[in-house]
Chains A and B, each alone.
Chain A
Amino acid sequence: MLTIQASPEEIYDIELEHSLLEANEKLARENRALLDCHGITAVDFMGAIGSGKTTLITRLVAMLRERCGVAVFNGDATTCADADPIAAMGVQVVQIATVNGCHLDANVVGKALRGIELDGLRLLMIENIGNLICPAEFPLGSKARVVVISVTEGPYMVRKHPHMFLGAAAVVINKIDLAEAMGISVEALANDVHALKPDIRVIPASCKTGAGLDEIAAMVTAF
């Protein structure tokens, strides 16, 4: 029998199609199916550390908890500092400690979903890790993603982190009460967001004064 052996150092290429995003996307679809079957809308809040994600979610919980069943997942590298005040309002909260992870993924969100009572819930607000890059690549199964930016992040923050906005349905420009002191134009930030994605909804807001919060509450319950 004739056998042929490849000579040393002969190099072969073979195609091996394998998506590195698929594993997370599959889990995200499973999360979405579970949420849909319970009639729950999940909204994922992304944004930089200090943009006001936690404060915004806390304010929304206070506004909405009487009207519909609300739960919150807080993503943070460590601590329950954000989750405790929300839990004190009597809603279900899961603190997702990613330890060294820079983003939430569909796997940890799926685990958190298995840890709460889903019946009776209508709205799940998921706070992603404070990071403007990594979370963009990891859908969680939410119905909409909202980016929270603030005027204290400087005039070029949208321009510096374009990826985060491409997959988002809405952008909250927070801390507008500080815009004048910071010398930041809210309109210019909104224009930057629209340069990336013309139909994205932009809501200027202040969690301190309450400006824009009714509009955000109406939006998250209508996704």
Chain B
Amino acid sequence: MHEMSFAAGVLEKMLEFAFSHPDRRLVEVKLAVGVLTCIDPEQLAFCYEAIAAGTVVAGSTLTMEPVEAIVKCAGCGYHGSPKLWDDGLASALAFAAPATLCCPECGGTAEALQGHECAIRSVRYTTSSLAAP
């Protein structure tokens, strides 16, 4: 359950945001998470919302947008989407086939340039708490 570690990291940053901007009420924090990580969006959102309860950012939600993988092959110069391990097992279970580091062009080992990230990208907030004169 490594999602809790990431949720704690997000909460820490959001509390920092809240304390440095007491006039802003946090609504949503948006993350970008690479498809090569094994971070589960639903579990991460659940963990975040659970540990945010009781803090000044309680009620804010966490959303994630996936970052596609991009690989580069030193052998043949290929640069682009990874080869997927599509053996029918994934589609039978309605999952996305996992990305591999096997170069789709030459079969050599490619290096992932993108797809391993897990980062906060933006926050959404209101200033409604200060709107009353």
Instruction: Using CB atoms, name the residue of chain B closest to A133.
Output: B38
CB of B123 within 8 A of CB of A13, answer yes
Choose the segment among A3-11, A26-34, A52-60, A79-87 that binds chain B (4+ C-beta atoms closer than 8 Å): A3-11
Q: How many A-B residue pairs have CB under 8 A?
A: 118
Q: Known contacts A163-B38, A198-B102; is A20 also within 8 Å of B124 by CB?
A: no
Q: Does B9 contact A (CB under 8 A)?
A: yes
B113 at the binding interface (Cβ < 8 Å): no
In chain A between 186 and 208, which residues have their CB closer than 8 angstroms to a CB of chain B?
Answer: 194-200
Whether B1 contacts A11 by the Cβ 8 Å rule is no
**B67 touches A (CB below 8 Å):** no
Contact present for B118 and A195 (CB under 8 Å): no
Supplied contacts A8-B128, A198-B102, 9 more A-B pairs, CB within 8 Å: A6-B126, A8-B132, A11-B27, A12-B127, A16-B17, A16-B123, A159-B89, A195-B100, A195-B102
Inter-chain CA distance A17–B120, complex, in Å, is 6
Q: Are A10 and B122 in contact (CB under 8 A)?
A: no
B residues apposed to A, CB below 8 Å = 1-2, 5-6, 9-10, 13, 17, 24, 27, 31, 36-39, 85, 87, 89, 98-103, 107-109, 112, 116-128, 130-132
- For A12, give its contact among B85, B107, B125, B132 (CB under 8 Å): B125
The answer, among B38, B89, B122, B132, for a CB contact under 8 Å with A136, is B38
Q: Is the CB of B125 within 8 A of A11?
A: yes
Which of B85, B99, B124 contacts A159, CB < 8 Å?
Answer: B85
Q: List 20 A-B contacts (CB under 8 A).
A: A7-B131, A9-B128, A11-B124, A12-B125, A12-B126, A12-B127, A13-B123, A17-B120, A18-B120, A20-B6, A21-B117, A23-B9, A102-B1, A102-B2, A133-B2, A166-B36, A166-B100, A196-B100, A199-B108, A200-B109
Residue of chain B at shortest CB distance from A15: B122
Query: How many angstroms between the C-alpha atoms of A6 and B130 in the bound complex?
Result: 9
Q: Are A21 and B118 neighbours in the complex by a CB distance under 8 Å?
A: yes
B102–A20 touching, CB < 8 Å? no
**Could you say which residues of chain B place their CB within 8 Å of the CB of A223?**
none
CB distance from B16 to the nearest CB of A (A): 9
Quick one: given A10-B128, A195-B102, are A16 and B38 in contact (CB under 8 Å)?
A: no
CA distance A7 to B13 in the complex (A): 26
Q: B107: which of A10, A159, A198 is its contact (CB, 8 Å)?
A: A198
Q: Cβ of A20 and Cβ of B100 under 8 Å apart?
A: no
* 3 nearest A-B residue pairs (beta carbon): A134-B2, A199-B109, A8-B131
Partner of B10, one of A7, A15, A20, A133: A20
Bound-complex Cα distance A223 to B101 (A): 21
Complex CA gap A7/B116 in Å reads 39
- Residues on A with C-beta less than 8 A from B36 are 163, 166
A162 touches B122 (CB 8 A): no
**A12-B124, A18-B120 as given contacts; A5 in contact with B98, CB under 8 Å:** no
Q: A197's closest neighbor in chain B, by CB?
A: B101
